[in-house]
């Protein structure tokens, strides 16, 4: 696991001059779960295995100036019971390293997802096991040990963002798939098993920078504490609309859903490693392996989602009015994948 520390003055960040001493009211944010960093902000980066309590204590407990924790990492196991155990241990290791040693710690932001809402409406939050529930229980248990420590829980939906090596980068995966189809002059066929999901199912997305904005809002707002919030762009989309956008961005004219076929990215992308190597070399892209940037199982999973829409009303009622246009967001992240030479 990796983390980085970002120093800021209030809500406005500034880079300190080498001979300038930090102000007494500076805030220090500790973000757990970073896969890449590209910023001009003053960053201190330390790689830490938060599943190892000894490594966590050795590397994180000395950070006595931390004022805010942003926990956004996770690990995957074969069963949900194992997910609960592994993810719970990681989160507890971090909190036990920071809470006793950071006297000015004020707030903990925990990011989960809409897996919180599983099953029928009446069963939301009640289906067990669910490792998100485990994380929340640990947050309350460990947080109670420090007087005045506040918390917030953030539940984004399908995340649109730019993290080429993330285990949940859907847009990056679709870009790689489109690049391979373009290279081989193949139609851009949508994976999935049901045409109506592709054509009619309404979904919502959560822009990565909107999620960050919501978490910072809660962290610095004195009147919004100890609450859980959904986080999405505030609009809806259908895959048939974004699939057209994806095809246009890669110059593919033949695209859509084949009703006579049940397509899987996992199956279609088997044996394409050499093809991707050729694409990387011919287009002078960043050196990557197909398995690093193409998360086919995750693409299949999301392309089979039925309508799942969550409300932003609670955030609005508390004063957070942020939103994003999902189509524009989709396009902007594709452009970023291209500008950073991840895809052609």
Helix (H) or strand (E) holding 175: helix 170-183
The per-residue DSSP string of 47-107 comes to: E--TTSHHHHHHHHTT-TT--EEEE------SSHHHHHHHHHHHHHHHHHHHTTT-TT--E
Tell me the chain's radius of gyration from C-alpha atoms: 21
Is the bond preceding residue 129 a cis peptide, omega within 30 degrees?
Answer: yes
Identify whether the C-beta of residue 217 lies closer than 8 Å to the C-beta of residue 152.
no
Closest C-alpha among 169, 218, 128 to residue 330: 169
* 132: annotated active-site residue: yes
Q: Find the catalytic residue in 132, 177, 198, 255.
A: 132
Active site residue 115: yes
What is the enclosing helix (H) or strand (E) of 9?
strand 2-9
Indicate the SS3 state at residue 43.
strand
Three-state SS string across 291-335, please?
A: HHHCCHHHHHHHHCCCCECCCCHHHHHHCCCCCCCHHHHHHHHHH
Task: Check if the beta carbon of residue 204 is closer than 8 Å to that of residue 308.
Answer: yes
Q: Which of 232, 184, 243, 173 shows the shortest CA–CA distance to 208?
A: 232
Active-site pick, 115, 270, 314, 316:
115
* 49 vs 52: CA distance, rounded Å: 6
Q: At what angle do helices 326-339 and 170-183 cross, to 10 degrees?
A: 60
Q: What distance, in Å, lies between the first and last C-alpha atoms of the chain?
A: 29
CA distance 212 to 200: 30
Please list the active-site residues. Answer: 115, 132
């Amino acid at each position: 696991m990796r983390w980085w520390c970002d120093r800021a003055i209030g809500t406005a960040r500034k880079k300190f001059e080498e001979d300038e001493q930090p102000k007494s009211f500076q805030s220090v944010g500790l973000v757990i779960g970073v896969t890449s960093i590209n910023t001009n902000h003053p960053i201190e980066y330390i790689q830490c295995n938060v599943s190892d309590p000894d490594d966590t204590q050795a590397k994180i407990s000395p950070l006595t100036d931390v004022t805010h924790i942003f926990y956004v990492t996770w690990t995957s196991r074969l069963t949900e019971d194992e997910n609960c155990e592994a993810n719970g241990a990681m989160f507890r290791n971090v909190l036990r390293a920071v809470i006793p040693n950071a006297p000015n710690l004020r707030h903990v932001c925990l990011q989960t997802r809409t897996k919180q809402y599983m099953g029928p409406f009446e069963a939301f939050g009640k289906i067990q096991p669910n490792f998100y529930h485990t994380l929340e229980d640990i947050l309350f248990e460990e947080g109670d040990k420090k007087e005045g420590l506040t918390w917030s829980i953030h539940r984004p939906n399908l995340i649109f963002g730019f993290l080429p090596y993330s285990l949940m980068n859907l847009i990056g995966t679709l870009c790689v798939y489109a690049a391979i189809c373009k290279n081989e002059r193949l139609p851009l066929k949508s994976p999935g098993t049901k045409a109506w999901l592709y054509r009619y199912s309404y979904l919502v997305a959560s822009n990565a920078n909107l999620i960050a904005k919501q978490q910072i809002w809660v962290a610095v707002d004195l009147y919004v504490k100890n609450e859980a919030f959904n986080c999405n762009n505030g609009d809806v989309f259908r895959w048939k609309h974004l699939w057209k956008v994806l095809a246009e961005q890669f110059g593919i004219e033949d695209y859509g859903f084949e009703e006579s076929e049940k397509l899987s990215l996992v199956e279609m992308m088997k044996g394409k490693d050499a093809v991707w190597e050729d694409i990387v070399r011919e287009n002078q892209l960043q050196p990557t392996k197909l398995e690093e940037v193409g998360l086919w199982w995750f693409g299949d999973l999301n392309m089979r989602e039925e309508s799942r829409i969550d409300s932003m009303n609670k955030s609005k009622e508390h004063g957070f009015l942020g939103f994003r246009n999902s189509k524009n967001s989709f396009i902007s992240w594709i452009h970023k994948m291209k500008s950073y030479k991840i895809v052609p």
